[in-house]
């Protein structure tokens, strides 16, 4: 099956031209509304981006995206992640590799932000990277209540804030166009959001606003360090890698309690990670909005949507019943309703780095499908 069917190519009701208009938010300038979603690759030996990484990002910038969000990059510990070949975002060697990536991407006309990442308890008990260091998380337990590693102390939290600030300042110094904080999928910042993994009884737990307090503290510290114009993107999700049915908010009001502290702290753009961008989030409400739509309605800030765009199978899930034409029509309608500002593409770009250019030019039959 071709990624873009003849049905889509010839359907006059589908107009994606508006997604090829420019976008601005603070100092961020994009040539279109398409972003490359962050995708872990583990192809940076010793945590240092090399020539293969530079060529990879250059090819996707040349392929037409407006924004590249890098694969997850480890902040300095404690215990940021399990894999030694995930790139790091600290230290002179990694900085030199990332500088070359930025220059390559900018030369092709795209913007780029690094995704700053700490995996928390998802690192597990047998990491390849820093094996002697114990894994850390808000309460030292996973979502089933099983003990994994240890709970973060007040001193640990201070160190983590410094680590995020260190990486954000490095991104600014290297010429990146902003940063993204990975607060989704059950990783460290999300573990504070999620009641199942946050059992703290101090200022960083107990209530939804309490659970949002540490992620907001990280945002506020970065904002104070980088100044008012350097964009901060915050990625979050309902679902987790360990539980696709998980929720951090059951209602729009609960979601507002979690997001408002982040807005107040200085987030510029939210990136709502979805598995199916076209599904409504809170079905008990009349507003037929996706999580991206609710996020924009609640916060008033620009939003990135994502979730099985351009592919025929949900990530680690079943085949999708809707046709490409149906889903692109929904994507267009969501954009027309103002539910999102940018759409992130993942697997489709892995299969074909020229995906955006081919969609723009109408060369749909030439797209290499993801398999």
Closest CA to 214 of 202, 230, 227: 202
Supply angle C-alpha 68, 74, 79, rounded to 5.
Answer: 160
CB of 328 within 8 A of CB of 16?
A: yes
Measured distance CA(238)–CA(253) in Å, rounded: 15
Supply angle C-alpha 47, 51, 56, rounded to 5.
Answer: 95
360: CB partners within 8 A, 6+ apart: 20, 32, 64
CB of 87 within 8 A of CB of 43?
A: no
Measured distance CA(353)–CA(226) in Å, rounded: 32
- In 3-state terms, the chain is what percent helix, strand and coil (to 5)? 40, 15, 45
187 catalytic residue (yes or no): yes
Q: Which helix (H) or strand (E) holds 190?
A: helix 188-193
Catalytic residue (choose from 187, 204, 234, 236): 187
Residues marked active site are found at: 187
């Amino acid at each position: 099956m071709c990624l873009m069917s003849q049905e889509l190519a010839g359907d006059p009701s589908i107009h994606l031209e508006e997604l090829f208009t420019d976008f601005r938010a603070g100092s961020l300038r994009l040539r279109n509304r398409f972003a490359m979603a962050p995708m872990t690759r583990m192809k940076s030996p010793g945590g240092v981006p090399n020539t293969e990484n530079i060529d990879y990002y250059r090819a996707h910038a040349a392929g037409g995206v407006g924004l590249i969000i890098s694969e997850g990059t480890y902040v300095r510990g404690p215990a940021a992640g399990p894999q030694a070949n995930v790139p790091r975002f600290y230290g002179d060697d990694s900085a030199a590799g990332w500088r070359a990536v930025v220059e390559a991407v900018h030369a092709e006309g795209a913007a780029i932000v690094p995704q700053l990442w700490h995996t928390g308890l998802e690192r597990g008990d047998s990491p390849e990277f820093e094996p002697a260091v114990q894994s850390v998380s808000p309460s030292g337990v996973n979502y089933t209540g099983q003990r994994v590693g240890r709970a973060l102390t007040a001193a640990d939290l201070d160190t983590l804030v410094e680590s995020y600030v260190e990486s954000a300042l490095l991104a600014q110094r290297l010429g990146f166009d902003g940063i993204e904080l990975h607060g989704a999928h059950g990783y460290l910042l999300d573990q504070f959001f999620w009641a199942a993994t946050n059992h703290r009884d101090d200022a960083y737990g107990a209530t939804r606003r309490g659970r949002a307090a540490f992620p907001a503290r990280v945002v506020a510290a970065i904002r104070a360090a980088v100044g008012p114009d350097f964009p901060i993107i915050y990625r979050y999700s309902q679902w987790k890698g360990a539980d696709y049915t998980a929720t951090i908010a059951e209602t729009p009001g609960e979601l507002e309690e979690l997001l408002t502290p982040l807005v107040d702290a200085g987030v510029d753009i939210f990136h709502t990670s979805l598995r199916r961008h076209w599904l409504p989030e809170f079905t008990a409400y009349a507003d037929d909005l996706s999580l991206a739509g609710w996020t924009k309605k609640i916060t008033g800030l620009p939003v990135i949507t994502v979730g099985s765009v351009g592919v025929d199978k949900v990530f680690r899930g079943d085949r999708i019943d809707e046709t490409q034409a149906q889903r692109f029509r929904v994507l267009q309608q969501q954009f027309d309703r103002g539910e999102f500002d940018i759409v992130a593409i993942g697997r489709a770009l892995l299969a074909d780095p020229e995906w955006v250019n081919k969609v723009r030019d109408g060369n749909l039959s030439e797209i290499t499908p993801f398999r």
